[in-house]
Every structure is written in C-alpha cells, then in structure tokens.
Amino acid sequence: MLIRNKEKERNLSESRTVIKQKMGAAAGISAPILAFACIITAIASDPSFSWTNNARASGVTGPLFNFGLYASGLLAFNFAVFGLYNCVGKSWVGKVGAAVFAAGTLALISIGVFNESFSGIHYFVSVAFFVLMPISTFILTFAFALSHRIKLAVFTVLIGVVAALPCLLWFAFKFTSNVAISETASGLAVSAWTLTICYKMIKQPRE
C-alpha cells in the first residue's frame, strides 16, 4: 500500500511537471510573436525610423514598442520559471542557466518600462539583457551536454554565439550609427532558440 501511494505521488508530481512545462512553452511561444508583432507595427507606423540610425520607434508608436518589450519579457519570464526550469532536469548547472535566462527576461521587462527617457537605467538594462541571454545559453549548453542531449547542446551553443556576436562586433567596430540591426539579430537568435525549446517541451516533455 505504501509503495502504491508513493508511486501515485510520483506520477502526480510528473504530471504537474509536464503541465508546468506546457504552460511555460505556451508563454515561450507567445513571447517572441508578441514582441516582434509590436516592434514591426511600431516601426511600420514611424516613417522616420531607419535601421542604421535608430534603435527605437518614436512618437505615438513608442508606447506600442515598449509594451511589446515588457509584455513579451513577462511571458518569457513565465517560460523560464515554469518551462525551462523544469525542462533542464535536476542538474544544478541547468537550474543556474534557467535562473540567468530568467534574469535576462527581467532585464527585457525593464527595457520596456525604463524607456529611453530614463537614459542611464535604460542603457544598463539593455546591456544586461544582451549580456545575460548569451551567458544563459552557454551555461545551458553544459546542462544539456551533461544530460547527454548533445544535439540540443550544440544547437544551444551556436545560438549563444550568434546572439553574442552582433553586439560584440557593433561595440568593437561601430559599423552602424546605432544598434538596431545588432539587437534585432541577437533577439531573433534567442527567439529561435526559445521556440525550438518550447516545441521540444510540448512534443517530448521530460522532468
């Protein structure tokens, strides 16, 4: 009887984990879709926007742009807490990677809340986001490798390089007058990784 109760508790725990992962996956899929929908709409409605000269849309479209950032950041935070944290298993390396990713999502929320009117804070949280996201992928690479998910580890480290490289090159060479192109390239890389992880969570949930 005791063994049967323990088995039921274990099955219930596993079911809860799967439900959390799927909730997190739903949030993770929604996050980049919402972010880029708001960003593209804001840019399209701002005739003065230039990919080489502007990093943000201005005028009345600014609030829409900022909403896309902090709303998608909130969704991405839920992905990190409910989905990614459970997906990486019991490895402490994976938990650290998920925590760093979650910290990056809080930075993304802050970018939208503390817009360019808060120049000092805005710069700090922007740098934090584009630094924390690649770092989280590098940590998660080790976590996936330790759990023998080699293909996922290789994919994750490549995404980390792609996410970090555009901003590093911009700071080194300033190939445009602003960072819009570099930020977009990094954001697309992280978004592609998030969507891939979410797909795996839905199709192959694991503790």
Predicted pLDDT of residue 57: 55
- Asked whether residue 123 is domain-assigned, the answer is yes
95 CB contacts (<8 Å, ≥6 apart)? 85, 88
- Asked whether residue 6 is domain-assigned, the answer is no
- Asked whether residue 3 is domain-assigned, the answer is no
The confidence band for 202, taking pLDDT boundaries of 50, 70 and 90, is confident
User: Which run of H or of E encompasses 117?
Assistant: none
What number of residues does the chain have? 207
The confidence band for 43, taking pLDDT boundaries of 50, 70 and 90, is confident
Residues 32, 99: Cα–Cα separation, whole Å: 19
* Burial of residue 12, with CB atoms counted within 10 A of its CB: 0-12 exposed, 13-18 middle, 19 or more buried: exposed
Considering its fold, how many domains does the chain have in total? Answer: 1
Average of per-residue pLDDT across 78-86: 92
- Asked whether residue 191 is domain-assigned, the answer is yes
Burial 45-64 (b: 16+ CB within 10 A, else e): ebeebeeeebbbbeeebbeb
What is the extent of the structural domain holding 89? 16-203
Q: What is the pLDDT of residues 119-163, one digit of tens each?
A: 789 889 999 999 999 999 999 999 999 989 999 999 999 999 999
- Asked whether residue 139 is domain-assigned, the answer is yes
Paired tokens of 127: 């740098």
Q: What is the pLDDT of residues 94-125, one digit of tens each?
A: 999 999 999 999 999 999 898 777 778 988 99
Predicted pLDDT of residue 39: 86
HEC assignment per residue over 10-26: HHHHHHHHHHHHHHHHH
Predicted pLDDT of residue 207: 46
Residues 59, 72: Cα–Cα separation, whole Å: 21
Percent with pLDDT over 90 in the chain: 53
Average of per-residue pLDDT across 188-207: 86
- Asked whether residue 7 is domain-assigned, the answer is no
**Tokens 């003065």 found at:** 48
The count of other CB atoms within 10 Å of the CB of residue 6 is 10
- Asked whether residue 146 is domain-assigned, the answer is yes
- Asked whether residue 52 is domain-assigned, the answer is yes
